[in-house]
Amino acid sequence: MKVLHFFKTYWPDTFGGVERTIHAIAESTARHGVETQVLSLSGKPEENTRRLDEHMAVKARLDFELASTGFSREAFRKFRVLAAEADLVHYHFPWPFMDIVHFQSGHSKPAIVTYHSDIVKQRLILPFYRPLMMRFLADVDAIVATSPNYLESSPVLRAFKAKSKVIPIGIDETAYPTASEADDAWCRSAVTVPFVLFVGVLRYYKGLDVLVHAASKTRCKIVIAGSGPVEREIKQQAASLRCDNVLFLGEVTESRKMALLRNSHGFVFPSNQRSEAYGLSLVEAAMCGKPMISCEIGTGTSFVNRVGQTGLVIPPSDPAALAQALNRLVDSPGEAASWGRAARERYVRLFTAERMGRSYADVYRQLKGRHRGA
The answer to whether the beta carbons of residues 139 and 370 sit under 8 Å apart is no
| 374 within domain boundaries | no
| 286 within domain boundaries | yes
pTM for this model (two decimals) = 0.93
The answer to whether the beta carbons of residues 54 and 25 sit under 8 Å apart is no
Q: What is the DSSP secondary structure assignment for residue 307, as one 8-state letter? A: B
Domain housing 239: 175-350
The answer to whether the beta carbons of residues 231 and 204 sit under 8 Å apart is no
The answer to whether residues 210 and 131 belong to one domain is no
The answer to whether residues 147 and 227 belong to one domain is no
pLDDT in tens, 290-307: 999 999 999 999 999 999
The set of residues, in sequence order, having a beta carbon less than 8 Å from that of 139 and lying 6+ positions away, is: 102, 103, 111, 372, 373
Distance CA 339, CA 265 (A): 11
| 119 within domain boundaries | yes
At 286 the pLDDT is 98
pLDDT in tens, 307-350: 999 999 999 999 999 999 999 999 999 999 999 999 999 999 99
User: How many beta carbons lie within 10 A of that of residue 239, not counting itself?
Assistant: 12
Buried b (16+ CB within 10 A) or exposed e, 113-141: bbbbbbbeeeeeeeeebeeebeebbeebb
Task: Please provide residue 148's backbone torsions phi and psi, each rounded to the nearest 5 degrees.
Answer: -65, -30
The answer to whether residues 43 and 119 belong to one domain is yes
User: How many beta carbons lie within 10 A of that of residue 14, not counting itself?
Assistant: 12
**pLDDT confidence band for 85 (50 / 70 / 90):** very high
The answer to whether the beta carbons of residues 343 and 291 sit under 8 Å apart is yes
Best CA proximity match to 291, nearest among 305, 271, 272: 305
Distance CA 74, CA 96 (A): 16
The answer to whether residues 162 and 190 belong to one domain is no
Query: Alpha carbon 191 to chain centroid distance?
Result: 27
Distance CA 239, CA 245 (A): 11
The answer to whether residues 165 and 184 belong to one domain is no
| 231 within domain boundaries | yes
The answer to whether residues 158 and 21 belong to one domain is yes
Distance CA 275, CA 228 (A): 15
* Angstrom distances, CA of residue 212 to CA of 92, 191, 238: 33, 17, 6
| 372 within domain boundaries | no
At 374 the pLDDT is 45
User: Per DSSP, which regions of the chain are E strands?
Assistant: 2-6, 35-42, 50-52, 55-61, 64-66, 69-71, 88-93, 111-115, 142-145, 164-166, 195-199, 221-225, 246-250, 266-269, 292-295, 311-314
At 125 the pLDDT is 78
pLDDT, the chain, mean: 95
Task: Provide the percentage of residues in the chain whose pLDDT is more than 70.
Answer: 98
* Mean of pLDDT values over 33-43: 97
Q: How many domains does the chain have?
A: 2
Q: What is the DSSP secondary structure assignment for residue 180, as one 8-state letter? A: P
| 232 within domain boundaries | yes
Strand order of the sheet with strand 35-42?
50-52, 55-61, 35-42, 2-6, 88-93, 111-115, 142-145, 164-166
pLDDT in tens, 61-75: 999 998 778 999 999
| 68 within domain boundaries | yes
The answer to whether residues 187 and 64 belong to one domain is no
Give residue 35's region: left, alpha or beta (phi > 0; psi -120 to 50).
beta
Distance CA 243, CA 214 (A): 10
Task: Please provide residue 5's backbone torsions phi and psi, each rounded to the nearest 5 degrees.
Answer: -95, 145
For residue 126, what is the domain's CATH number?
A: 3.40.50.2000
The answer to whether residues 193 and 301 belong to one domain is yes
The answer to whether residues 61 and 147 belong to one domain is yes
| 58 within domain boundaries | yes
Q: Which residues is 70 bridged to in the sheet?
A: 65
- Sign of torsion over alpha carbons 127, 205, 42, 94: negative
* Mean of pLDDT values over 14-37: 94
The answer to whether residues 113 and 190 belong to one domain is no
Distance CA 329, CA 357 (A): 34
Distance CA 87, CA 281 (A): 33
Does residue 260 register a pLDDT over 70?
Answer: yes
At 320 the pLDDT is 98
The answer to whether residues 56 and 159 belong to one domain is yes
The answer to whether residues 235 and 116 belong to one domain is no
* Mean of pLDDT values over 224-247: 96
